[in-house]
């Protein structure tokens, strides 16, 4: 499966540390930015070069950031995610609903049309729920490193389509719909 981008849920609390603390443990934050930032810091403390979230608490990884994450062995990444996931416990980490999937597919179809205009064909749009409340958005088809020209076209099209903002909004609205009163 060729994925153009990976967007995950965001959350943050207090940075992760290997030192013992004698104060009472803090509850995970229900603020998406705070919880996501704490999660990212914890991952980095465990050797995973994860970027910080945006101001909404969303992680929108670039292809370069995804490649950098993949340099860490999967076993180490998985262990770090399991260790740090408690930082996100104050957030809605439920899988995206079928309605959110359908809405996200429409955004990916816009991206596909834009890429077609640059002479690039991509496969069928895919929205995939993953573990730990994450979701992946992309296209099926052959993977591999795209050319510099294709990478530029993807960047231009993602910007034209306003993909990150639209997908973030779909995720946020879906999370609110499954927990209308908040936490």
| Banded pLDDT at 180 (limits 50, 70, 90) | low
- Chain length of the chain: 183
Q: What is the pLDDT of residue 26?
A: 67
CA–CA separation, 144 vs 71, rounded Å?
15
Average pLDDT over residues 155-167: 92
Are the CB atoms for 136 and 171 separated by under 8 Å?
no
How many CA atoms are closer than 13 Å to the CA of 175, on its beta-carbon side? 23
CA–CA separation, 92 vs 119, rounded Å?
39
CA distances from 66 to 4, 5, 26, 77 (A): 10, 8, 30, 12
pTM above 0.85, yes or no: no
Q: State how far Cα 23 lies from the chain centre.
A: 32
CB atoms within 10 A of CB 69: 16
> Hey, which of 84-88, 100-104, 128-132 has the most confident mean pLDDT?
100-104
DSSP letter assigned to residue 5: E
124 three-state secondary structure: coil
Element (DSSP H or E) covering residue 129: strand 125-129
């Amino acid at each position: 499966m060729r994925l153009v981008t990976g967007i995950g849920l965001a959350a943050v609390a207090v940075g992760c540390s290997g030192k013992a603390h004698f104060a009472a443990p803090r509850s995970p934050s229900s603020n998406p930015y705070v919880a996501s930032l704490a999660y990212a810091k914890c991952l980095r403390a465990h050797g995973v070069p994860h970027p910080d979230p945006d101001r909404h608490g969303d992680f929108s990884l670039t292809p370069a950031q995804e490649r950098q994450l993949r340099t860490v062995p999967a076993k180490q990444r998985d262990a770090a995610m399991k260790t740090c996931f408690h930082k996100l416990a104050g957030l809605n980490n439920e899988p995206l609903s079928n309605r959110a999937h359908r809405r996200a597919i429409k955004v990916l179809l816009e991206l596909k049309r834009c890429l077609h205009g640059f002479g690039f064909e991509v496969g069928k749009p895919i929205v995939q729920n993953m573990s730990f409340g994450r979701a992946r958005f992309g296209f099926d088809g052959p993977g591999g490193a795209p050319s510099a020209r294709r990478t530029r076209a993807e960047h231009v099209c993602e910007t034209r389509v306003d993909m990150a903002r639209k997908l973030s909004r779909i995720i946020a609205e879906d999370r609110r719909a499954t927990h209308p009163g908040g936490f």
